[in-house]
Chains A and B, each alone.
Chain A
Amino acid sequence: MTVSGAGAAVSIEGLHKSFGDLQVLRGVDLEVADHEVICLIGASGSGKSTLLRCVNLIEPIDAGRIVVEGDEITAAGVEVNAIRRRIGIVFQSFNLFPHMSVLRNVTLAPVKVAGTPASRAEADARELLDRFGLADKAEEYPDRLSGGQQQRVAIVRALAMQPDIMLLDEVTSALDPELVAEVLDVIRELAGAGMTMLIATHEMGFARDIATRVCFLDDGVIAEQGPPEQLFGDPQQARTRQFLARIVAAGRM
């Protein structure tokens, strides 16, 4: 089924989401073109994570629609598992499977969901691990890796399904400061390779550096968006300026 919004990698229209009485998203509209890297910034609780979780269908939405590569994924009766295969998500807390080796973490979905033969999936996984400097960690268990290594494995695990788009949900927030860079480097490499990405982040320097577009979420809507140099250098909205001033005051930019 093809609807308007075709051509865009992701098209979000009038997205509403509440948890009980708490309205988290109150009409979000966003178009993401192929190969675009969009950074979502905003205070904690502004709805960044919820937006990503809705795009991955982890959270059912209340109103609006989401179209991915021309298919409306929020329509009734869609095959949820098939859609999720095309959308990779990486979480703040890694969520690796602790009872499986790194290699099994990466090959689980390709083998069980995509039906890739195990030997083929393993070869692919080792190639990906190698690409992100994790070749020697393939047989390790997640608990034996550093936070940065775990998060890189989580990114590799999502990439193994060859998604059309990657959603990154504050992937460096749970890391010690000295481990942030190795994860950001991985994301930078993905951006360089043309991966379409939607990134919720508190790393303003990184957002300015990598994003093709930055969206400032406030009060459940996208209050302002634009190229990073404009949004960080010359924000139009008063609340964007306030938010950025607080970030600067906190020494985070």
Chain B
Amino acid sequence: MTGGIPGAGSSPGVPGVDPEGPLPSGSNRSRILGGGDPGARNVWIAVASTAVFFGLAAVLIVSSPGWPEIKRTFFNGQVFAESFPKIVRQFGTNIFIFIVAEIFVLVVALFFAVLRSLPGPVFAPLRILAIGYTDVFRGIPTILVISLLGFGMPALQLQGLPKSEIFWAIVALVLVYSAYVAEVYRAGIESVHPSQTAAARSLGLSRMQSMRHVVLPQAVRRVIPPLLNDFIGLQKDSALVAFLGVIEGLQTANIISSAEFNYTPFVSLALVYLVITIPQTRFVDWLIARDRRRRQGGTVV
């Protein structure tokens, strides 16, 4: 699985180990500018050095011998103008797929995470079921699960079984990503100190009430960054549906690319993905900072 955007820096790699989340965006400015004192002079130095650095890099790239060829193949303005609107329109299918999948993943994953957290010998079969599920679906390539269900299920020709490739692609994505997200939830649940459960139980709350009102709210807050990482992975993997012949973003880019003998449509699609994923990481940074401010008062260090 691919975890988010390298360098976006929003999410710890290991679920649940960083309950405080990333640095609040407020301190990013001075960090990027490279000094504790973001005075006007420092700002100008940073702007100037950045401009010089990227300017030189641009000049170097554009003046290199292969550049005109690269530009024509990947950054063709005319092909871009023609393909971009079509790709955006077909990308609606991807959005539909990943939004429906995400909603189900949130529920299914929580179910398996709670199942796996049940204590006592009586619940051993349920725990084994949950462990087996995550082991299997984390161990199989996503595209294989999509192929198995997307090609296999419609081929069964069974009465009452949906034949839509999109339906089975969503089922496959939910099965695979719920396995990951269940582990994220579980890490969050285990990161809540047992004394919280003890306090809840001592007040007379049942096991399920303690889970529902005390453990899960804290667990979910802590795992929002890794959860979003998995969601971004899911959004990107919605492109795998193209493999089933569904006309969505990637398939559209592919068709236009073949017709035009040009790869700019793929760059257009890449741009669409970046436009939807980067704001999400920024949004989560903001959520975490806000939550911490509310709990600890105005001073966010």
The residues of A with any CB-CB pair to B shorter than 8 Å are: 56, 58, 81-82, 84-85, 87-89, 91, 93, 95-99, 108-109, 112-114, 141, 143-144, 157-158, 161
Name which residue of chain A comes closest to B292, CB basis. A143
| B296 contacts A91, C-beta separation under 8 Å | no
Distance in Å: Cβ of A115 to nearest Cβ of chain B: 11
Name which residue of chain A comes closest to B220, CB basis. A99
Distance in Å: Cβ of A223 to nearest Cβ of chain B: 28
A100 to B213, CA, bound (A): 10
B301 within 8 A of partner (CB):
no
Known contacts A91-B195, A93-B195, A109 near B203 by CB under 8 Å: yes
| B196 contacts A95, C-beta separation under 8 Å | yes
Binds A, one of B6-14, B23-31, B127-135, B204-212: B204-212
A158 to B204, CA, bound (A): 10
Chain B interface main SS type? helix
Residues of B within 8 A of A99 (CB): 217-218, 221, 295
| B209 contacts A141, C-beta separation under 8 Å | no
Distance in Å: Cβ of A111 to nearest Cβ of chain B: 10
Distance in Å: Cβ of B288 to nearest Cβ of chain A: 13
Contact code string B205-244 (vs A, CB < 8 Å = 1, else 0): 1100100011001100100000000000000000000000
Name which residue of chain B comes closest to A142, CB basis. B295
A81 to B295, CA, bound (A): 30
Residue among B198, B205, B294 making CB contact with A109, cutoff 8 Å: B205
| B217 contacts A95, C-beta separation under 8 Å | no
B199 within 8 A of partner (CB):
yes
Residues of B within 8 A of A95 (CB): 195-196, 198-199
| A161 contacts B204, C-beta separation under 8 Å | yes
Residues of B within 8 A of A112 (CB): 205, 209, 213
A97 to B199, CA, bound (A): 9
Interface size class on chain B is: 20 to 34
The residues of B with any CB-CB pair to A shorter than 8 Å are: 195-196, 198-206, 209, 213-214, 217-218, 221, 294-297
Q: Which 8 A-B pairs have the closest CB atoms?
A: A95-B199, A109-B203, A85-B204, A113-B204, A84-B204, A141-B295, A89-B202, A95-B195
Residues of A within 8 A of B217 (CB): 99
| A141 contacts B203, C-beta separation under 8 Å | no
Q: A84-B204, A85-B204, A99-B221 are in contact. List 9 more A-B contacts (CB 8 A).
A: A58-B198, A84-B203, A95-B195, A95-B199, A97-B199, A98-B295, A108-B203, A143-B295, A144-B295
Known contacts A89-B202, A108-B203, A112-B205, A143 near B213 by CB under 8 Å: no
| A158 contacts B195, C-beta separation under 8 Å | no
| B196 contacts A97, C-beta separation under 8 Å | yes
| B204 contacts A91, C-beta separation under 8 Å | no
Distance in Å: Cβ of B193 to nearest Cβ of chain A: 8
Known contacts A109-B204, A112-B205, A113-B204, A91 near B198 by CB under 8 Å: yes
| A157 contacts B297, C-beta separation under 8 Å | no
- 13 CB < 8 A contacts A-B: A84-B202, A87-B202, A91-B195, A95-B196, A95-B199, A98-B295, A99-B221, A108-B203, A109-B204, A109-B205, A113-B204, A143-B297, A158-B203
Residue among A87, A89, A96, A113 making CB contact with B205, cutoff 8 Å: A113
Residues of B within 8 A of A157 (CB): 203
A85 to B204, CA, bound (A): 5
Residues of A within 8 A of B213 (CB): 108, 112
Residues of B within 8 A of A85 (CB): 203-204
A152 to B114, CA, bound (A): 33
A39 to B256, CA, bound (A): 82
Distance in Å: Cβ of B94 to nearest Cβ of chain A: 34
A87 to B296, CA, bound (A): 31
